[in-house]
Amino acid sequence: MSLPDSVSILGGVSLDPPLHVAVIMDGNGRWASARGLPRREGHRQGVEALRRAVRAAGDLGIKVLTIYSFSAENWSRPLEEVNDLMGLLKRFVRKDLAELHENGVRVRVIGDRKGLDADVLALLDEAEQLTADNKRTTLVVAFNYGGRQEIARAARKAAEDAVAGKLDPASIDAGTIEANLDTAGLPDPDLVIRTSGEQRISNFLLWQAAYAEFVFLPIYWPDFDRAALEAAIVEYRRRERRFGGVTARTGS
């Protein structure tokens, strides 16, 4: 059941959600190891946590949810684990795409698509095309994604436009780079959540998260649920966001 944008949670606290929440889903392998299970089981349970997160985001009125599903550096993992992760991605799209579409979720994929297998590309394209007109929530899937690589692609596009005479090099500014990022047209994240207790950004949304608030949760990703999301939002709402100024700005 859909809830209003401002909902009541623990202790009667009013929860006013940020516009854009981004999540570094960390700790699947350690969750599995702590239970004597294979890493693939941790990844499988991580998909269940993702389903919970998407539903909770929609219920809480979060308009954009970005997930770090597979980094450009994850290809260095053992081949068996990479294959397991690709299999989970395919099953998630095939199993959940219809439900996402019915619930008004728009899927947008960011990251480098060059070199991806044709079947993976087809799934990503299908997810984007089917849900393109949905308005309730935007689920941004960072796949084969790296923040440094994204900025380099944006700079390369600006350079190509300058060489072609479409752009005056003297006019290149932050707005030029932003317009060429994978996330062009999306609001910057207000809140970045990382699970597992690790406190680093890991090449995720380096440009976009310049003024985001970070909340590091001590739980592994497979244990993430609505209560964890609400707790992160409560912590976010305690912060004063000054954006380099002296006084806090209101709103998300």
| Identified catalytic residue from 74, 103, 134, 203 | 74
Decide if 26 is catalytic.
yes
74 is catalytic: yes
In this structure, what are the phi and psi dihedrals at residue 240, rounded to the nearest 5 degrees? Answer: -105, 115
CB atoms within 10 A of CB 135: 9
DSSP state at residue 202: T
- Give the C-alpha distances (Å, rounded to integers) separating 122 from 117, 125, 127, 166, 177: 9, 5, 9, 32, 28
Catalytic residue among 5, 16, 26, 59: 26
In this structure, the number of other CB atoms found within 10 A of the CB of residue 56 comes to 19
End-to-end Cα distance, the chain: 24
| Residues with a known catalytic role | 26, 74
